[in-house]
A and B are shown apart, each in its own frame.
Chain A
Amino acid sequence: MSELYVKIMEIRPEIIMLIGACCCLMVGLHRSAEIRKLTVAVAVLTLVFAGFYNAWQTLDSDHPWTLASFTKMAVCVVGVLLLSFASGLPDKLKMSRDAESHPEKFDPGNVMRGEFYAFFLFSLTGVMLCGGANDLVWLFLALELTSLPTYVMVATGRDNIKANESGIKYFFLGALAAAIFLYGFALIYGATGVTNFDQIRECIAVTGVTPLFTLGIVLSIVGIGFKIAAFPMHFYTADVYEGAPTPVTAFLAFVPKTAGFVSLILVLTLTSKTNFRMGNPEELQIYISLPNTVQAVLWVMAALTMTIGNVMGLMQTNVKRILAYSSVAHSGYMLVGLLGISSCVAGVTSTNGAAGVMFYLIAYALGNMAAFAVLACLERNGDEATDLDDLAGLSARKPMLAALMLLANLSLIGLPPMVGFAGKIYMFSAAVNAGFVGLVIIAVVNSAISAVYYLRIVNACYFKKADASQTELVPTRNRVMVALAGAVLAVYLGLAGNELARITNQATIANLFNGKIVRQVLQDYPQAMGGEQTAWNIEKNNP
């Protein structure tokens, strides 16, 4: 089997997604209005099919979960929820309503439907490709495939001046960020002469970490920081999140972030070194370490990202902007978890910071999506109503929506027993294990600060009297279902997320450890701690 063939077999779910996206483009422009309305269905079916196919592919073979298959699965599952949240968005736009008002005079130029769902799927495909990347070029293309469609999606509401503003901001800053991490990739290539991850690792094992290589890694981290909205690339967040239609905002908070963190994990594994040491009691531990420079960069980024996010969040009165800054803050927590991969011990789940990050991404997505879905049920004069005052008295008007908002916010605060809390334990345990106690203290103090603005939202829902404002409640079935699913899953995974914790650990372990060294160590010390499982994972994933 040629290498190309193996690659293509691996990305079958992505191929399904691409085909589905192209179908969406065509269905969205069909002459008959009835068929045009089916575009959403095509998109949902594509996602479901890709998800099932991926699950079948993973579970049927004896491959354990890998970063690629886990990312694909997460994207498909959360993607379905996001899609049902976004469904109907393009139809509501004024220009598409005009374009479709006369069944005879269909104006394809002004209908967004096909493009919107197709871009939606394209962007998800990009994230899925990120997970399986084993080459810098592939990683770059996958990241750009994730981002390019989102620039358009942000500007979906073209009638709205804010949407245009955020679309342009997002595009230019995104391009800048892409240039930065591409420059980083180029430097990595310059330092090693190869773009394949395995070859880069081999090269670094021989030459050691050179300054040029470190600079490349640092630039890549900073550039990818745009995708995850981390300092110093977080400035766009509030404006873009506010300007984009709410379903797209929810999309932005999960999809580019996931792509960013998966890429960060991959980039960090380029620099990580697999070591072994004698533990206490006499047991050989295989663990990895990161270069000090990279650790320092991540430390500063994490500390500033969460602090800036939370402090700025305190000053907002618009719920979307609050959630935007909270998105920045959550990236900060996840960077803390990411630092936890240095000194990750094979076979000890709690030390695997990368797994903690993957777990927390899901946790964050659920709480965030539920919060946005409830918010999207509010309207004023046909526009989105996103002020804190618009939420006033929600509990009296719609107790169900208020309860969902409450659960979502509690999970985002990280209050037990919600999934946000489990995720924080996971990430912070790993970070403490890696010796970043100070950073963890900054993180928990930040969690306490974040409680202030989350509580403001809850406050508005529960304690404020509804004034006679024009805020209307339009809880469409889809949005309520999405909020319900997000909140219920947040509770469920908080109580019974052990399996997810195990899977995330399994998925990341093969990427983190250098297979050759693990195998070599195991030959000499077959009883090394957790070594067998790691070796098994690595063996199965690199046949």
Chain B
Amino acid sequence: MELPFALLLFLVLIPLLSGLLLPLLAGNDPEKIKTFTLGITVINFFMSLLLLVGYDFSNSAEYGLVFNTEWFSSLGLTFSFGVDSISIWLILLTTFLMPIVILGSYSAVTERVREFYIWLLLLEAAMIGVFVSTNVIFFYICFEFTLIPMYFLIGIYGSSDRLKAARVFFLYTFTGSMLTFAGIIYMAWCNVAAGGMWDFSFAALSTAHQNMSDSQQLWVMLAMLAGFAVKVPIFPVHTWLPLAHTEAPTSGSVVLAGVLLKLGTYALIRIAIPMLPKAALAVAPMMGVAAIIGIVYAALICWRQKDIKKLVAYSSVSHLGFCVLGMFAINVQGLSGSVMYMINHGLSTGALFLLIGMVYERYHTREMAQLNGLAKVMPIWASFMVFFAMASVGLPGLNGFVGEFLTLLGSFNSILMGPVYAAIAGTGLIFGAIYILYMVGKVVWGPLKLPDGHDDHASGGAPGGHHVTDLNRREIAVLIPLAVACLWLGLYPNCMLKTLDAPSQAIVDRVGIEGHEQPIRPMLHHVQNTLQTHPAQLTVLDDTPSTDIATAQLPGVHQ
């Protein structure tokens, strides 16, 4: 099936225009606004399904449905669209989550309803814009624009400490990405200095590294990381995330965990790694270490949390550590595992946030100390909770497993990292299982304990307390698609994995490192290689025994 390139344009424009024109299109009636927004996002979802069905994945290392139009042509800026299989899956994730978020927030938002849906629609447009753009500045614009809707979603609809959370979220991410902005301009200038034109397209900037010295690449890489690592977030710049997540309304948390964090990882995989290959190789071990610290450290923090939402928020930091670990392994398994992980984390963590939101709407608390044994009063909720907790932990057969396994395999086989990295990161899995099961064990099982005012629920509601019921049909309808997606991707991950091979391979080729079939090396050999690749570390690790080991040159590193 031949897809029109305008499909991408529509994917961005439909939510954008319906968001801006919502007051005209849907009036002021909350019910009408909700239905209208839901309709728009569902339409968008089906349109993106067309992408999945009709896109020719056989050639997926190249961009498809390419479309360029003038913008600031004299400054090298164009509106350029295009997708490959990585972006198609992320677009699908976005359009799939949006109707769910909207349906899930039907009862949560009672004030300033219209504004809420306007921001959500604009957010959707910006997020899809990030995934379809093939010009760095256009990419950056959408990337930055996501801040505004999220700022308002947290600031207006969040819980008690929302103002601080909104401000911290905005300033933290904005500061980082301003440095990225400087890096982007510098990268484009490197092309100009070599006699090229000012051009910010992906294609032009992909060749910029040929005109950059190693140290220039490293500096630009650091500038990129300043913006993107904050967004992911990678340890130690993750501190905005728990606050933002905890204070955000449920829908905000779902979008934040589901898609917004993926903007950071997507930017790393799309811009930072392929466009700065040497720097990517140079920082890979360090990023691996940061990712591992993030995995273990955040997992340990989760264990100590008393607030369920905060626990899930910190678990995002831990999970995205796997994502970063896989991508900086720079081999096919790691990269495709990383993309896979982005999708899976979006689904399972999004679902967990929704579930927590549902409990919060009923009991107005998220304290584990006050909520015990909910399986007795909310059996349907409890089943979903257990299901998604398992998906999040990475139970084989559910979606979380595949990505986790692949990223670990990738780092294990990577000549940049190695078994030790994988082994330490693997402990994160165990901690992950511990804290999630600990939480599920307390909240779902065990003796029934409800917050004050709900205590005598068992007797059918009491004066002063709300009558708490199990999930209603709408809420079940929200969770079912997520559960189906988790199960489908868990049982049949190949439908996604096989499309990710080609783009991953393209990135590996670009960085210039063999990704396939790396022999599992002894640790020493690995250290030796690392030292060869990164003489800068030599001073630190100089006393490592290294004389008797043959040192293989990394192809592409010393070119």
Beyond contacts A350-B198, A444-B182, A455-B171: 19 other A-B pairs, Cβ-Cβ < 8 A, are: A283-B195, A350-B192, A415-B147, A415-B148, A416-B137, A425-B72, A425-B185, A428-B182, A429-B198, A432-B189, A433-B192, A437-B182, A437-B186, A444-B178, A448-B174, A459-B155, A462-B156, A463-B166, A498-B71
A81 at interface by CB-CB < 8 Å: no
* Across-interface contacts of A84 in B (CB, < 8 A): none
A426 at interface by CB-CB < 8 Å: yes
**Cα distance A432–B198 in the bound complex, in angstroms:** 12
List A428-469 residues whose CB lies under 8 Å from chain B: 428-429, 432-433, 437, 440-441, 444-445, 447-448, 451-452, 455, 459, 462-463
Stretch at the interface among B35-43, B74-82, B298-306, B386-394: B74-82
Minimum CB distance partner of B76 in chain A: A350
B469 at interface by CB-CB < 8 Å: no
A426 in contact with B75 (CB, 8 Å): yes
Please give the distance in Å from B184's CB to the nearest CB on chain A.
Answer: 9
Stretch at the interface among B6-14, B138-146, B249-257, B331-339: B138-146
Which of A416, A440, A495, A502 contacts B74, CB < 8 Å? A502
- Residues of A with Cβ closer than 8 Å to B? 279-281, 283, 348-351, 410, 413, 415-417, 421-422, 424-426, 428-429, 432-433, 437, 440-441, 444-445, 447-448, 451-452, 455, 459, 462-463, 495-498, 501-502, 505
B163 in contact with A432 (CB, 8 Å): no
Which of B72, B171, B185 contacts A422, CB < 8 Å? B72
A417 in contact with B141 (CB, 8 Å): yes
Known: A441-B182, A445-B179. A425 touches B75 (CB 8 A): yes
Give the secondary structure class of B's interface: helix
B178 in contact with A459 (CB, 8 Å): no
A417 in contact with B182 (CB, 8 Å): no
* Across-interface contacts of A424 in B (CB, < 8 A): 181
Minimum CB distance partner of A410 in chain B: B148
A451 in contact with B170 (CB, 8 Å): yes
Which of B71, B175, B185 contacts A495, CB < 8 Å? B71
Interface string of B134-170 (1 = CB under 8 A from A): 0001001100110110011001100000110011001
Give the secondary structure class of A's interface: helix
8 pairs from A and B in contact (CB 8 Å cutoff): A280-B195, A349-B198, A416-B144, A426-B75, A444-B179, A451-B174, A497-B72, A498-B71
B73 at interface by CB-CB < 8 Å: yes
**Cα distance A415–B142 in the bound complex, in angstroms:** 10
* Across-interface contacts of A502 in B (CB, < 8 A): 74
Known: A417-B145, A448-B174, A451-B174. A440 touches B72 (CB 8 A): no
**Cα distance A444–B184 in the bound complex, in angstroms:** 12
* Across-interface contacts of B147 in A (CB, < 8 A): 415
Known: A410-B148, A451-B171. A429 touches B178 (CB 8 A): no
B145 in contact with A416 (CB, 8 Å): yes
A416 in contact with B152 (CB, 8 Å): no
B70 at interface by CB-CB < 8 Å: yes
B21 at interface by CB-CB < 8 Å: no
B137 in contact with A425 (CB, 8 Å): yes
B188 at interface by CB-CB < 8 Å: yes
B70 in contact with A498 (CB, 8 Å): yes
* Across-interface contacts of A432 in B (CB, < 8 A): 182, 185-186, 189
B194 at interface by CB-CB < 8 Å: yes
In the A-B complex, the 3 residue pairs with the closest CB atoms: A416-B141, A280-B195, A349-B74
* Across-interface contacts of A413 in B (CB, < 8 A): 174
* Across-interface contacts of B198 in A (CB, < 8 A): 348-350, 429
**Cα distance A502–B192 in the bound complex, in angstroms:** 19
* Across-interface contacts of B171 in A (CB, < 8 A): 448, 451-452, 455
